[in-house]
Amino acid sequence: MLLTEHAEAIEADLLRYYRLDLLDYHRGAMSARRLRVLVQHLPEESALGRALLASPAGLPGQRAARRPGSAGG
């Protein structure tokens, strides 16, 4: 699960881009839907975006050929 694998990057991004604390989700002050929407719309240069670009799977919906250093990119 994305939140489990990249909790620290998500926490940093929520603070940086939205001034929100990930703990709000765990406390019940932020819905799962809101967290999903916020994470889904983080920019590629976010900590989560960089972590996902570095992973073999890349960003969701991104073709491997578009990643820097890959064939055809």
Q: Could you read off the pLDDT of 48-73 as tens digits, one per residue?
A: 999 998 877 655 655 444 444 444 44
Distances (CA, A) of 3 to 38, 44, 64, 73: 12, 17, 22, 29
Find where tokens 């991104």 sit: 62
pLDDT at 44: 92
CA distance 2 to 8: 11
**Contact status, residue 45 vs residue 51, Cβ threshold 8 Å:** no
pLDDT in tens, 4-55: 999 999 999 999 999 999 999 999 999 999 999 999 999 999 999 999 988 7
pLDDT at 72: 42
